[in-house]
Structure 1
């Protein structure tokens, strides 16, 4: 049986408002040097959902569901750092007040927390509505796995993922794809992986097919080979990280589907087991 320190973890409230899409220049310059006008981050995205394909959308860095942000920078840092995938979110203002949702990811750069809500509740929401997140999970540890750093993951969701320990004492994690370190792009070198995400680069179509990137869905669990996220994001031979796909493919060079890391090891204490149902929507019963 896999044991965690769930009973010692602290739950705190953080909150933000539904953040409007923003535009500086109308053009996003794609990998071919062409200016594209596309929907991108923010707001309420009605027709892109957890479990949908994150590829081939007519958009850039699309965030499924509801995107929130706090106008105070320090408070938003806390929202980004303390929120964990699987946390409960509660609408506390507006026509959808008291609606419940689930955090599905944290998006660096734009610094949004992304939240799943059902269609009925989203249709009552408006930009500026306030949403509270019951932040719970940072500091999660697995007993007997000191080499594995957990982050950004609600312990209740951790317990729903079909994790196993093999005969060699390696943690087996269900995944839909394994991504080599050389395909990890925007966000590499960040000082911490305990908030936000970094991108799988998708400029090489053959690599997209070879590694199953072209089939990725929002919420999929992926293994990042030779990627160390224990203290910032870096290449390290033999390191293994597990992450969740949180935003869509992108048209920009060095970008692609965003991955929020949920565990990492500098050693080979984590092993991926391919499973086409390895998606947080499946484990949360909302796929």
Structure 2
């Protein structure tokens, strides 16, 4: 078990409602210059897309697995988006599914009023939920520190999930199992954001050679991935000799600069943080959902 300051972290409630999908345009031009109709994928309830499912190839755009929630008040939504962490308990507090529990699997956004939190529920609960139902999050995890690994920053991670991840410690180095490795050259939307506790960071899939070389067409929602040569300690940037471990939160996109979105969990130098190939490094496999 990795030593942490988990006992110093309070558990605080934040809350949001299942968000209604929005349509701002009927079409756009993709990176190849072809006109595309807009396909919905964000907000609402995805009944047949959950963590463990493919992240590439859906006939939709930026598909968010499970349930997407936000708060209508901008400041409250900022608190919801910032404080919530992957692995937090989610509890339905209104509607026919009241009392049912799920788990936070990711974040999506970057424009604060529209940042959304992604939550997984079992299929029988999804069938009872409706847009507008309130979901309470028992938020805990921001401020998590690993005393034996001062060179590794941790973000967006519930301490209870930390104990279940494929992690080992050898000679002061933190090793984390990953299902895929992502070269820094394909990281797009989200780069430059000042806080990695908000929104996500997209993997571009528009270079066929890179997609084939790294098997990016086989990414799954919930995969733990290694972002090579990326520094996510104080924002998102390119830096040689740095590594980031993240989790795939949403599906691919036809928009330039966009693709499967990832949420940062760990970041540090290659000497402090090492990725180990593990095909089963996926939240669905870890939680057995």
User: What TM-score does the superposition give when structure 1 sets the normalisation length?
Assistant: 0.97
1:41 match: 42
- Displacement of 1:205: 1.6
Runs of at least 4 residues of structure 1 off by over 4 A?
none
Select the residue among 176, 179, 183 that pairs with 1:180.
183
1:250 match: 253
2:127 match: 123
Select the residue among 151, 158, 167 that pairs with 2:155.
151
How many residue pairs match? The answer is 285
2:288 match: 285
Whole-angstrom CA distance in 2 between matches of 1:4 and 1:28: 47
- Tell me the SS of whatever aligns to 1:160: coil
- Displacement of 1:40: 2.1
Q: How does 1:52-131 map to 2 (within 5 A)?
A: 52-109=53-110, 110-131=114-135
User: What TM-score does the superposition give when structure 2 sets the normalisation length?
Assistant: 0.96
- Displacement of 1:267: 4.9
Please tell me the root mean square deviation across aligned C-alpha atoms, in Å: 1.1
Whole-angstrom CA distance in 1 between matches of 2:288 and 2:60: 27
Deviations 1:12-67 (A, max 9, x none): 00010000000111214322231223122010011111100010100110000000
- Which blocks of at least 5 consecutive residues in structure 1 are unaligned? none
- Displacement of 1:160: 0.5
Determine if contact 1:157/1:283 at 8 Å carries over to the other structure.
no
Say yes or no: does 1:216 pair with 2:219.
Answer: yes
1:32 match: 32
- Which blocks of at least 5 consecutive residues in structure 2 are unaligned? none
Whole-angstrom CA distance in 2 between matches of 1:43 and 1:49: 13
Whole-angstrom CA distance in 1 between matches of 2:50 and 2:125: 14
Deviations 1:60-104 (A, max 9, x none): 100000000000011100101000001000010111111101000
Whole-angstrom CA distance in 1 between matches of 2:135 and 2:11: 16
Whole-angstrom CA distance in 1 between matches of 2:72 and 2:37: 28
Whole-angstrom CA distance in 2 between matches of 1:19 and 1:76: 12
1:137 match: 141
